[in-house]
């Protein structure tokens, strides 16, 4: 039996207290080419961080006395990157089931009450490599079934999950591209099942008393699942519809209109075919730029130009890893920058690609007041790059999350130190 | 957002495969000639029953001028020129003498490299779309299946082939999957359109034998065995004991032709050819300790391992690999998807290279295979970070001449030197930049891909109607 241990998950958008090691540090990053993303780039700009928050960004900014100065002359300064589709912290070794916590069993392929962050491991060894390469925030996203559960957006900071959370939930996830995964036989039946769930949620919302007296008809989902779906039918919590085929995207858009849902598309391989419609409906798309293989009959039109074409049509795009190789959602969350570079190679403007890994996901997930841009009041999530952030030769020179600079060695760094001189050492190298 | 193609197949263990055995005999430098015994087929009793029918596509003399050339055989030639003629590299240098009728391409700001070689592919055997009907990469019915040949599973209309070509890949080794201890024969293909797999087969290429260590076989055969790593090792050794006996019988009969020939056995024919040095061993193996054990097994039975594939822990034994002359076909940054992959490090390639072993950037993935240049670039950056910078001249070898060596084809492909096959890529810029794309690709001197001209872009039969014509 599935354990029903959902404590405060029912309340919408649990705001997290901001803690962590930020301390009372004051930092001034000077001289770099600063990309606030929320505004035009600033040559020779300064970013000031006080007590974990950005307090000033600009060309002629007064540097507070006693600030730690970081000389970024000749460097690029951007907001920390936001990876919008990860399993960071819920998948350590993907073939070891003990370390997999991203898919709920649910009831009849519906797991709306699944709050994935409650199983997140903040001590995952995947965190530091992601942060080291410029990822400072991530969405942890459930997967599997028709309704996979709720996603959260977190910062890559040490401490507890509570410390890390920027906002939870940020979205409900539904996978509507594959009838078999949803436990039905046909695409139309899948949509019918989703409609039934939304309809039941509506009824449940207005008939709670009758439900509690056991005077309602049976529902397609459990009490907690229905409860969790209420913010979705209220249009408060976005529904990420994971789908590839253009006709499935169209069906998702019909459902969204029917129930006044706030929808975004995840994956969206064939989104370019209906780009104008997505733009008109103001539906954002989470997609990648490194896949062009017709993996299945639902994604025959997959192409690397998808992200750029969607953006050109006016769709808000957040870039995610979707090359399909396997570990872009955990071990290689860090490769988001490669995705962005490829998006540029296949038609997206460089500025849009930067936006698609910073401010776009922050806006899509409703946390732009916290992360995704360099503006006063935002978290001190800042990366200093040696050059173009998307280029392979570029190094992350400094990475700040909530105003704290992280220089810790990753497990991989320590392994390499062990074996750099063979036969290697069996002792822990000094850190 | 998509469950990984590779990991969807994890139950059947398609991903991550094997390494090739080596031979002491030199490979013949001829491409289109009839294959002789021991060159690509079995030496006995029915060599090369599925001969290549490949013939080069029509080509014209072509000069690329004013272009940066990474030859994989020496320093970069800046603003140089290369002449492709009669399917071969005719000349390469700062200038070349070109015939009057040659097609002249200005390569200003661009780069030329040898065609990229992926020595770990499942194209055709795990074709797209990834439906069960096209899942032909693992004969997961027996832990040892040396009797299967990957070429008999290859679907030439797999739409992944033209995408690979557009990524600058001109030669592939297609391997069986890694479910089995001994998975069967690989096949070396040119990335060219063909009605049949025979029309894609690289003439004269040796076969490879796929072997697999570790978790995959013991997971797949949990019920019937092997269910442990010691069971795996017993399985390899038993197979080689049988093969050695088989080889002796046949070698004796081949020498004296006395009496009836021994009974043929498909699996042992392949294994005996490995023992004779005519088939190269490609061994899927992640962990350092297991690679060392596989090396001991190879010593016990007198064969050589040509390449360890995946080898996420190769950096722990780079010295051993160098000493044994075994190449490492590895990823830039995959890891942690299973226990035997948890010690993957981004510096693997740089560390193995520094130890003196041959590094090969492989894919085991139809998407990664299209941008092996980017994979190499990530590994170069990782090397620089740990104080082991890798030059572009060295990194191009990881993509071309080193895999050519692993396939026993380094005398024909893998570098831009006069006399070698004109497998050439013209890149829009530095091939190690994320923004660079292959613009034109030649196989044996014939331009088979031109990004600027849709009429020069290969479309498989499958794509007609099903897949929107959008590539450019």
When pLDDT is averaged across residues A215-241 and rounded to a whole number, the result is: 97
Please, which residues have CB within 8 angstroms of residue B451's CB and are 6 or more apart in sequence? B166, B437, B438, B439, B440, B457, B472
Which residues on chain A are in Cβ contact (under 8 Å) with B318?
422
Residues from chain B that touch A92, judged by Cβ atoms under 8 A, are: 336
Rounded CA-CA distance B430/B323 in Å is: 33
Note whether B338 contacts A: Cβ–Cβ < 8 A: yes
Tell me if chain A has a CB within 8 Å of the CB of B133.
Answer: no
pLDDT above 60: residue A2: no
Per-residue pLDDT band for A328 (boundaries 50, 70, 90) equals confident
Measure in Å the smallest separation between the Cα of B274 and chain A Cα atoms: 31
Q: List, as ranges, residues 203-232 from B with C-beta within 8 Å of A.
A: 215
Q: Alpha-carbon distance B244 to B246, whole Å?
A: 5
CA B341 to chain centre: 21
State the helix-helix crossing angle for B392-399 and B348-355, rounded to 10 degrees: 100
Using the Cβ of B442 and the Cβ atoms of chain A, whether some distance falls under 8 Å is answered with no
Size of the A and B interface in Cβ pairs below 8 Å: 170
Using an 8 Å CB-CB cutoff, list chain B residues near A305.
Answer: 470
- Closest-CA residue of A relative to B390 is A393
Closest CA in chain A for residue B9 = A326
State the distance between the two ends of chain B, measured CA to CA, in whole angstroms. 25
Predicted pLDDT at B5? 34
Distance from CA of B338 to the nearest CA of A (A): 5
Q: Mind telling me how many Å the CA of A206 is from chain B's nearest CA?
A: 34
- Compare CB distances from A391 to B129, B370, B433 and report the shortest one's residue: B433
Q: State residue A57 phi and psi, 5-degree precision.
A: -140, 125
| Shortest CA gap B18–chain A (Å) | 18
Q: Does B321 touch chain A (CB under 8 A)?
A: no
Please tell me which residue of chain A has the smallest CA distance to B471: A303
A189-193's contacts with Cβ under 8 Å and 24+ in sequence apart are A190/A146, A191/A251, A191/A255, A193/A146, A193/A220
Least confident of A16-30, A154-168, B75-89: A16-30
B455 touches chain A (CB under 8 A): no
Tens of pLDDT along chain B (472 residues) come to: 443 333 333 333 344 433 333 333 333 332 323 333 344 445 555 678 999 999 999 999 999 999 999 999 999 999 999 999 999 999 999 999 999 999 999 999 999 999 999 999 999 999 999 999 999 999 999 999 999 999 999 999 999 999 999 999 999 999 999 999 999 999 999 999 999 999 999 999 999 999 999 999 999 999 999 999 999 999 999 999 999 999 999 999 989 999 999 999 999 999 999 999 999 999 999 999 999 999 999 999 999 999 999 999 999 999 999 999 999 999 999 999 999 999 999 999 999 999 999 999 999 999 999 999 999 999 999 999 999 999 999 999 999 999 999 999 999 999 999 999 999 999 999 999 999 999 999 999 999 999 999 888 999 999 999 998 775 4
| Helix H or strand E segment including B65 | strand B62-69
Identify all chain B residues contacting A266, using CB atoms and an 8 Å cutoff: 1
Q: Which residues contact A366 (CB under 8 A, 6 or more apart)?
A: A13, A167, A170, A238
The answer to whether the CB atoms of A95 and B338 lie below 8 A apart is yes
A420-428: list long-range contacts, CB under 8 Å, 24+ apart: A420/B351, A420/B386, A422/B316, A422/B317, A422/B318, A422/B319, A422/B355, A423/B319, A424/B316
Residues of chain B neighbouring A265 (CB-CB closer than 8 A)? none
* C-alpha neighbours within 13 Å on the C-beta side of residue A95: 22
- The yes-or-no verdict on residue A312 having pLDDT over 80 is yes
**Contact yes or no for A344 and B435 at CB 8 A:** yes
Whether residue B73 lies within 8 A of chain A, CB to CB, comes out as no
Asked if the Cβ–Cβ distance from A338 to B471 is below 8 Å, we say no
Structure tokens, B317 = 């034994």
What does DSSP say about strands A382-385 and A76-79: parallel, antiparallel, or unpaired?
A: antiparallel
Please name the residue of chain A whose CA is at the shortest distance from the CA of residue B128.
A295
CB within 8 Å: B1 and A320: yes
Distance from CA of B35 to the nearest CA of A (A): 35
More reliable by pLDDT, B22 or A205: A205
Query: Parallel, antiparallel, or unpaired for β B446-450 and B438-443?
Result: antiparallel
Does pLDDT of A29 surpass 50? yes
What tokens were used for A391?
A: 């280029």
Name the residue with higher pLDDT: A404 or A325.
Answer: A404
Per-residue model confidence (pLDDT) at position A329: 86
Is A293 within 8 Å of B334 when comparing Cβ atoms?
A: no
Chain A residues inside the 8 Å CB shell of B311? none
CA distances for B242 relative to A14, B23, B156, B217, B382, angstroms: 65, 20, 34, 20, 44
Could A295 and B129 be called an inter-chain contact, meaning their C-beta atoms sit closer than 8 Å? Answer: yes
**CA distance readout (Å), B342 to B30, B88, B228:** 43, 44, 19
Average pLDDT, chain A: 92
pLDDT higher for A259 or A325? A259
ipTM of the complex: 0.93
A345/B131 touch (CB, cutoff 8 Å), yes or no: no
For range A97-125, the mean pLDDT: 96
What pLDDT does A426 receive? 86
For residue A178, the chain B residue with the least C-alpha distance is B2
- Residues forming a β-bridge with A95: none
Cα of A269 to nearest chain B Cα, Å: 10
Q: Please list every residue in chain A whose beta carbon sits closer than 8 Å to the beta carbon of residue B435.
A: 341, 344-345, 390-391
B305, B295 contact by CB (below 8 A) = yes
pTM, whole model, 2 decimals?
Answer: 0.93
- Burial, A205: exposed, middle or buried (Cβ in 10 Å; 0-12, 13-18, 19+)? middle
Q: Which residue of B has its CA nearest to A390?
A: B434
Cβ distance A344 to B366 less than 8 Å, yes or no, reads: no
Q: Decide if B339 touches A, using CB distance below 8 A.
A: yes
The pLDDT tens digits for A279-309 are: 999 999 999 999 999 999 999 999 999 999 9
Give the span between the Cα atoms of B396 and B402, in whole angstroms.
9
ω before A169 within 30° of 0 (cis)?
yes
Cα A148 to chain centroid, rounded:
15
| CA–CA min distance A322, chain B (Å) | 6
pLDDT value at residue B368: 95
Pair A113, A222: CB distance under 8 Å: yes
Q: Report the residue of B1, B11, B427 to disrupt the A interface, i.e. the one with the largest count of A CBs within 10 Å.
A: B1
Q: DSSP per residue over A262-330, as a string?
A: -EEEEE-TTGGGGHHHHHHTT--EEE-SS-----STT-TT--TTHHHHHHHTT--EEE----SSS-TTT
């Amino acid at each position: 039996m599935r354990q029903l241990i959902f404590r405060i998950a029912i309340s919408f958008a649990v705001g997290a207290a901001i803690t962590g090691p930020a301390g009372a540090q004051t930092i001034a990053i000077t001289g770099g080419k600063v990309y606030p993303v929320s505004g035009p780039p600033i040559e020779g700009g300064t970013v000031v961080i006080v007590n974990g928050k950005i307090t000033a960004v600009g060309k002629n900014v007064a540097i507070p006395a006693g600030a730690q100065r970081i000389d970024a002359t000749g460097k690029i300064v951007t907001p920390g990157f936001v990876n919008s589709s990860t399993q960071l912290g819920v998948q350590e070794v993907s073939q070891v089931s003990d370390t997999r916590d991203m898919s709920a069993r649910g009831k009849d392929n519906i797991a709306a009450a699944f709050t994935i962050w409650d199983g997140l491991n903040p001590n995952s060894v995947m965190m530091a490599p992601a942060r080291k390469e410029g990822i400072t925030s991530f969405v942890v996203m459930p997967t599997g079934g028709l309704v996979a559960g709720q996603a959260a957006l977190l910062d890559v900071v040490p401490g507890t999950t509570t410390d890390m959370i920027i906002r939870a939930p940020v979205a409900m996830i539904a996978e509507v591209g594959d009838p078999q995964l949803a436990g039905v036989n046909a695409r139309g039946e899948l949509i019918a099942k989703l409609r039934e769930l939304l309809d039941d949620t509506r009824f449940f919302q207005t008939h709670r008393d009758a439900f509690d007296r056991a005077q309602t008809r049976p529902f397609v989902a459990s009490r907690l699942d229905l409860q969790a779906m209420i913010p979705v039918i209220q249009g408060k919590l976005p529904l990420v519809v994971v789908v590839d085929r253009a006709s499935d995207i169209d069906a998702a858009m019909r459902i969204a209109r029917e129930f006044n849902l706030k929808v975004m598309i995840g994956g969206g391989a064939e989104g370019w075919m209906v780009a104008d419609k997505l733009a008109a409906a103001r539906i954002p798309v989470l997609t990648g730029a490194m896949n062009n293989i017709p993996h299945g009959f639902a994604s025959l039109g997959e192409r690397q130009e998808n992200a750029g074409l969607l953006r050109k049509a006016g769709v808000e795009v957040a870039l995610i890893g979707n090359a399909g190789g396997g570990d872009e959602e955990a071990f290689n969350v860090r490769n988001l920058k490669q995705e962005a570079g490829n998006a540029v190679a296949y038609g997206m403007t460089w500025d849009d690609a930067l936006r698609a890994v910073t401010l776009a996901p922050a806006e899509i997930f409703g946390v732009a007041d916290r992360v995704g841009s360099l503006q006063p009041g935002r978290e001190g999530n800042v990366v200093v790059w040696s050059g173009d952030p998307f280029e392979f030769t570029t190094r992350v020179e400094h990475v700040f999350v909530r105003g704290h600079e992280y220089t810790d060695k990753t497990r991989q760094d320590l392994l390499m130190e062990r074996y750099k001189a063979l036969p290697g050492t069996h002792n822990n190298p000094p850190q | 957002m998509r469950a990984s193609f590779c990991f969807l197949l994890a139950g059947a263990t398609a991903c991550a495969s094997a390494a090739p055995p080596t031979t002491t005999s030199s490979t013949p430098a001829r491409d289109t000639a009839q294959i002789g015994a021991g060159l690509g087929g079995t030496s006995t009793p029915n060599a090369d029953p599925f001969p290549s029918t490949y013939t080069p596509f029509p080509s014209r003399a072509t000069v690329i001028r004013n272009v940066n050339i990474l030859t994989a055989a020496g320093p970069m030639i800046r603003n140089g020129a290369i002449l492709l003629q009669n399917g071969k590299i005719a000349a390469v240098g700062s200038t070349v003498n070109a015939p009057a009728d040659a097609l002249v391409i200005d390569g200003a700001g661009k780069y030329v490299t040898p065609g990229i070689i992926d020595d770990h592919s499942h194209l055709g055997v795990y074709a797209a779309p990834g439906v069960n009907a096209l899942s032909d990469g693992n004969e997961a019915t027996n832990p040892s299946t040396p009797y299967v040949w990957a070429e008999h599973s290859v679907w030439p209309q797999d739409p992944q082939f033209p995408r690979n070509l557009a990524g600058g890949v001109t030669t592939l080794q297609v391997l069986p999957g890694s479910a089995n201890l001994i998975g069967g024969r690989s096949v070396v293909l040119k990335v060219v359109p063909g009605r049949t797999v025979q029309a894609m087969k690289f003439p004269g290429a040796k076969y490879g034998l796929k072997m697999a260590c570790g978790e995959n076989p013991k997971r797949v055969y949990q019920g019937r065995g092997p269910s442990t790593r010691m069971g795996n090792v017993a399985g390899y050794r038993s197979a080689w004991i049988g093969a050695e006996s088989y080889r002796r019988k046949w070698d004796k009969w081949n020498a004296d032709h006395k009496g009836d020939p021994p009974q043929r056995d498909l699996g042992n024919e392949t294994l005996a050819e490995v023992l004779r040095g005519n088939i190269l061993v490609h061994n899927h193996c992640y962990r350092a300790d297991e690679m060392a054990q596989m090396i001991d097994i190879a010593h016990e039975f007198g064969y050589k391992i040509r390449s360890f594939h995946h080898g996420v822990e190769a950096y722990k034994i780079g010295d051993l690999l160098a000493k044994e002359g075994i190449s490492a076909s590895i990823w830039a940054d995959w890891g942690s998807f299973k226990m035997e992959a948890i010690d993957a490090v981004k510096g693997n390639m740089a560390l193995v290279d520094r130890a003196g072993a041959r590094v090969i950037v492989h894919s085991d993935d139809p998407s990664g295979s299209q941008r092996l240049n980017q994979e190499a670039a990530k590994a170069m950056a990782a090397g620089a970070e740990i104080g082991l910078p890798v030059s572009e001249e060295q990194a191009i070898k990881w993509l071309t001449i080193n895999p050519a060596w692993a396939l026993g084809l380094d005398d024909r492909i893998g570098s831009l030197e006069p006399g070698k096959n004109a497998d050439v890529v013209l890149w829009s810029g530095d091939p190690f930049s994320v923004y660079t794309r292959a613009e034109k690709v030649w196989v044996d001197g014939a331009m088979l891909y031109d990004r600027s001209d849709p009429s020069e872009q290969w479309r498989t039969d499958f794509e007609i109607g099903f897949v929107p014509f959008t590539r450019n």
